Chains A and B, each alone.
Chain A
Amino acid sequence: MSNESQHRGPVALHNLKVMNRLALTKRMVAHLKQGEAVIGGIGNTNFDLWEVGQRPENFYMLGSMGLAVPIALGVAIAQPQRHVVALEGDGSLLMQLGCLATVAVQAPKNLTIVVWDNGLYQITGSQPTASHTTADLVAMARGAGLAKSSWAADEDEFDRQFAEAIAGGGPTLIAARIDGEPGVGKTDRDPVQIRTNFMRGIAAQK
C-alpha cells in the first residue's frame, strides 16, 4: 500500500476529489501575477512549491513547524497592498490552530490560507494526522471565526476559489484533499539567503 490519503470520518463525507499536491501547487502559482507573497510551510508543501518555480516573493520555511500562517499574517499587516498566501499542510496547521482565531480577529483582507490535507504526517513516515479520521479543518477554521473557509471539491473549484480569494475580501481559507505522493523538489537550506531573497522580492526596506 501506498501512503495514499484515505480520509475517513467527516472529511470523507464531503465527497471531495483526492487531488495531487504538485499539480495543485502549479495551478495556484499560475494565478500569482501581481507579486503576491507566498509563505511555504515546512516539508513536502515547500518541496512542491520550490519545484514549481522559485519566485522571489516566496518564503520557504526550514523549521518552526506551524508558523506559516502567523508569518503570513505578519507580512500581510506590514504590506496591506500586497496579497499574501500561507501554504500549509494538515499536520502543521493542527500544531498551531490558535492562529486561525488570531487571523479571524485581525481579519486582514489580503490574506489567503491554503491547506493541503492528506491526513498524514507524510515526511516523518506517513503516520495519520487527526484529519485522517476525525478532524475537519474547514469546520475548525469556521469555528475559529474564518467564515470564508471551504473545501475545494476538485481542481476547477480550487481555481475559482483561489482566484476569488486573492482578488481581496479575505481572510479566506481553502482546503484541498491531496494524495500521498511525496514532494518533488528540495529547497535550499540557507536561512539567511532565503530571508534576504524574500525581502528583496517583496521590496522590504528594513
Chain B
Amino acid sequence: MTETTTLPWHEIVLARLKANGVKLIVYVPDRVLTVLIKALHADSYFTVFAATREEEAIGIVTGALMGGLRGAVLMQTSGFATLPNALASLVVPSQIPALMFVSERGTLGEFNLGQAMVCRTMRPVLDALGVENHTITRDDELEFIIDRSIKQAYATKAPVAFILSPLLTGGKVFAS
C-alpha cells in the first residue's frame, strides 16, 4: 500500500470505491468534499449526482443495492444528523450495506456553534444503532480502513460510516 500513500486523500477514496465496484455516488454537497465530488464526476466509471437531502440519498442507494448496484452517500456532519430515522427503520433492520462518507465539521477549529453541537450527536447515534464507524485522521491508514471496511460491509450486509477528520482533509477554515 505504500505506493498510494503519496496520493491525495480524495484519489485514494476514489480508487478504493472503484476497486470494490462501487459505481453509484449520491451526495449532498460539502466544501471539503468538493475535490472528491469533482474527481468522481470526471470519471465515467461512476454515476454521480446530488440529492436534495441525505435521507433521500440513503433511499436511492438502498434501492440501487437491492437492484444489484453498489453505492455510497457523501455528506457533511450536519447532513448526517438528518439520517437517524432512515438508518434505524430502513438500513439497519433491512441489513443494507450502505457506505457513508461524512466530512467532519464541528471540531478542530470549528467556527459555527451549530456545527459543533451537531458533531457531538454523530458518533453516539452511530454507536447506538450499532453502525460500524471509523474516524480517519491519517492518509497512510486511509486505504486500509476504507478497503477493508467496504469489503466487510458487503460480506456482512452491514452499513459503515467513514468520518473524514479535518486532520485528513484539512477541514473547512474560518473565513475571517
Contact = CB atoms under 8 A, between A and B. Distances in A.
B51 A102 contact: yes
B93 A191 contact: yes
Contacts of B49: 102, 105-106
Contacts, number: 129
B9 to A, nearest CB: 27
Query: Interface size for chain B: under 10, 10 to 19, 20 to 34, or 35 or more residues?
Result: 20 to 34
A204 B157 CA distance: 14
Given A63-B90, A70-B63, A191-B93, A78 B53 contact: no
Query: Interface size for chain A: under 10, 10 to 19, 20 to 34, or 35 or more residues?
Result: 35 or more
B64 A74 contact: yes
Main secondary structure of the interface of A (DSSP, over half): helix
Contact of B59 (A71, A205, A206): A71
A107 B11 CA distance: 29
B44 interface: no
A78 B68 contact: yes
B150 to A, nearest CB: 12
Contacts of A101: 52
Interface of A: 37, 39, 59, 61-67, 69-79, 82, 96, 98-99, 101-102, 105-106, 191-192, 194-195, 198-199, 202, 204-206
8 contacts: A37-B67, A61-B90, A64-B85, A71-B66, A78-B68, A99-B56, A199-B66, A202-B67
